[in-house]
Amino acid sequence: MSSTETTVLVTVTGGDKPGVTSVLFAALARHEVDVLDVEQVVIRGRLTLGVLGSCPRDFDALHDELVDAMHTVGVDVDVEVGAARGRAGLSTHAVVVLGRPVTARAISVLSRELASQGVNIDSIRGIADYPVTGLELMVSVTNVGDEADAKLRQSLAVIASGVGIDIAVERGGLARRGKRLIVFDVDSTLVQGEVIEMLAAHAGVEEEVRAVTESAMRGEIDFAESLHRRVATLAGLDASVIDDVADELELTPGARTTIRTLRRLGYHCGVVSGGFRQVIDGLAHDLELDFVKANTLEIVDGKLTGRVIGDVVDRAAKAVALRQFASEVGVPMEQTVAVGDGANDIDMLTAAGLGIAFNAKPALREVADAALSYPFLDALLFVLGVTRDEIEAADSIDGLTTRIPIP
């Protein structure tokens, strides 16, 4: 082997223990190796550590020293000369797999589909064990562009449905961790249930209102029309019921953790709701949200009139609100995230840089960038590239780490 510079891939495997990394890099340093890439994973005490580097000195001497050095710490080493430094013309994507559980069959089917599309799996790591199992696959995609991304998402959505997991696909790199504004729908997204139905229960018209709500969520009737029809049934209801319903609101599991984590990461957080300001203002204050956009119920002489004040926050208005929020804080639209569950959220999710459908109706799932089917809102953090370890590490600073038993 000549002494001219060459590229080497060093792979260390064996039982994990203190000192392995130190011994490895000391040997590399003695041969003046420049590090190009490093990746390490430990699964149940078994270490795999890979280092890609350029070696300006004698390869044979490096190989022999690495074998001897790693033997002293009881691990194996493989040294490959001429390893590729990169693959030109490829795009890196993150494929996030979530499930309870994630079966070997699911990974087999997924990997086979990726291979059929010429997508190479570069690395796999575990990102969550609670409330769902989460795996992150970093992949190299040969077909680059929005149309190719949409095709990949669609094919993997079919796979996900067939094997009972969630699969989200997003372009990797800085753009993935560069999101800075997130907007949530409220009813059946940030909170459990529908506020209008909770109000209707006090008026004794819950079933009538629920039927209209479900029709609107499926996209069968115009939202503005459905809102007016539902609110009309509340005419004459005492305004004190608003406070009662506000007190009854229950956050979706993981919602508080999600908001708290995103705020720590520097996100601006807000809600855009087809529901009512008077009901959700207290919740927004409690969660320290930056933005709130919702409808306003008309109240006269302490009674609901059955009408709303001002323009209706409908499907189109939700997208307008997202753009307005982004403009106010100087965040480009490609760095925004929108989360919702119904047809009324379609425009908002398609306008956002990343649209996430949460336990959503088919009309929304079809246009969303990612769809989550488990009832834990913090699962969306994994799609954004945040691991469970990062969440718990942040929470432990405030002594807030808790785990709620899952039945």
Q: Where in the sequence numbering do the catalytic residues fall?
A: 185, 187
- Cα–Cα distance between 386 and 120 in angstroms, integer? 23
User: Are the C-beta atoms of residues 8 and 80 closer than 8 Å to each other?
Assistant: yes
Q: What is the DSSP letter of 186?
A: T
User: Of 97, 109, 91, nearest to 169 (Cα)?
Assistant: 97
- Cα–Cα distance between 3 and 57 in angstroms, integer? 5
- Cα–Cα distance between 77 and 71 in angstroms, integer? 8
Amino acid at site 320? V
- Cα–Cα distance between 377 and 359 in angstroms, integer? 10
User: Are the C-beta atoms of residues 181 and 211 closer than 8 Å to each other?
Assistant: no
- Would you say how long the chain is, in residues? 407
- Cα–Cα distance between 160 and 376 in angstroms, integer? 17
Q: Residue 192 CB: number of other CB atoms within 10 A?
A: 14
